[in-house]
Structure 1
């Protein structure tokens, strides 16, 4: 670049995205004189999905602003909880976030998940078509313009990922109401209606069941229930929740 020189500073929460030399506060950047501020921010490594607002000399400007010589740019992080206007809050997760998808579903959050790598263009198109917030650790995917809305998942640890998403978007929680396998809704089921799907030991040992209205999977309070209950209890304690309680197997 050989154009106007500006100074550039990112919020502490966003410094992991930029080079080490730009993590200590205000640094100089030479622009090409024609690129927008949004393009510049992304070229320096910060996905626009993570930007709350942009300040130039203390005043809020749009991402379409073209920086001029001497301006000081501040890149502010998204304010939490983040509001996503225009559609019910629903998520789409990429192939690397399967555990997070299942935990969100466990809490009753609508979380579509692609278990196979269908490619960034297809994921972005699906986000736009279904108006789902794209969750990913892939910055390249989050830069695609087709995405309806998106968010970077900051940790690679499922417990921290769940807290990150719940803290950022504050979705309504309704534990035990959604199928962890397919994201369908659960309904109470009497034992007689599902007994043909159960192994003999389960038939003898359990009497309370739920069934997915989409894929037919049957749930009960099985061997893994205590571990799942701990996840639910911690999430509801910290982030709140509503909805009926149903079994999980």
Structure 2
């Protein structure tokens, strides 16, 4: 860019995206006199999915605002919890977030997940077609124009990732209601209904089952239940209200 100069500063939460010399206070940025403020912000490293209010000389403006020489711009972080207007809150996760996808499903959050790399254009297109918030650690993917909505996942640790998403979007939590494998809805099932899908040891040990209405996978309260129930209990305590340890099924025959 080679044109009007502006002063721009970024909220501390956005420091991860900008060069060190742009952190901590206003710095000069040269624009081309035609690009929008949204384009300028992204060219400086911050995906617009992570930018909250854009304030120019004390007034909030849209991302389509074209900066003029001498303007002072402040880029705020998104508000939390962040509203997602116009659609039920649903997520789409890229190939690198499989553990986060399973934990969101464990909590009953509608979460689509691509277990193979289908490419950035296809992910962004699916986000738009299904009106899902795309979660990713790929900054380039979050800049795609066809994206309906998106959010950067700030940590590479699943525990922190889950807290980040729950704190940012405040989805309704309905533990033990979704299939961890396919995101389908679980229903209670009798042993007689699922007996042909059980190993002998499981058939003789457990009596409470659930089955996915989409993929027919069977769940029961098995060896992993205490660990999963701990994840649910912590999430509910911080983000979802009171929770009593469940006797809900948690292991499958996969």
Q: TM-score range by the shorter chain?
A: over 0.9
* Uncovered stretches (5+) of structure 1, i.e. residues with no partner: none
- 1:125-160: CA deviation from partner (whole Å, max 9, x where unpaired): 100000100000011111111111110000010000
- d(CA) in 2 for partners of 1:32, 1:243: 55
| Residues 1:54 and 2:48 are matched in the alignment | no
Whether contact under 8 Å (2:54, 2:76) holds in the other structure is: yes
Whether contact under 8 Å (1:175, 1:241) holds in the other structure is: no
- d(CA) in 2 for partners of 1:117, 1:179: 21
Whether contact under 8 Å (2:54, 2:74) holds in the other structure is: yes
Alignment correspondent of 1:121: 121
Whether contact under 8 Å (1:136, 1:153) holds in the other structure is: yes
What is the Cα deviation at residue 248 of structure 1?
1.0
Alignment correspondent of 2:105: 105
- d(CA) in 2 for partners of 1:243, 1:117: 36
TM-score where L is the length of structure 1: 0.98
Alignment correspondent of 2:240: 240
Alignment correspondent of 1:217: 217
- d(CA) in 1 for partners of 2:243, 2:109: 11
Whether contact under 8 Å (2:233, 2:243) holds in the other structure is: no
- d(CA) in 2 for partners of 1:234, 1:129: 33
- 1:65-108: CA deviation from partner (whole Å, max 9, x where unpaired): 11111110000111000110111000000000000000000000
Instruction: Extract structure 1 runs of 4+ deviating beyond 6 A.
Output: none
- d(CA) in 1 for partners of 2:68, 2:156: 38
Alignment correspondent of 1:89: 89
What is the Cα deviation at residue 27 of structure 1?
0.6
Please provide the CA RMSD for this pair: 1.3
What is the Cα deviation at residue 44 of structure 1?
0.3
Alignment correspondent of 2:192: 192
- Secondary structure in 2 aligned to 1:80? coil
What is the Cα deviation at residue 241 of structure 1?
5.3
Whether contact under 8 Å (1:7, 1:27) holds in the other structure is: yes
- d(CA) in 2 for partners of 1:140, 1:62: 22
- d(CA) in 2 for partners of 1:241, 1:195: 35
- Secondary structure in 1 aligned to 2:162? helix
Whether contact under 8 Å (1:174, 1:243) holds in the other structure is: no
- Secondary structure in 1 aligned to 2:55? strand
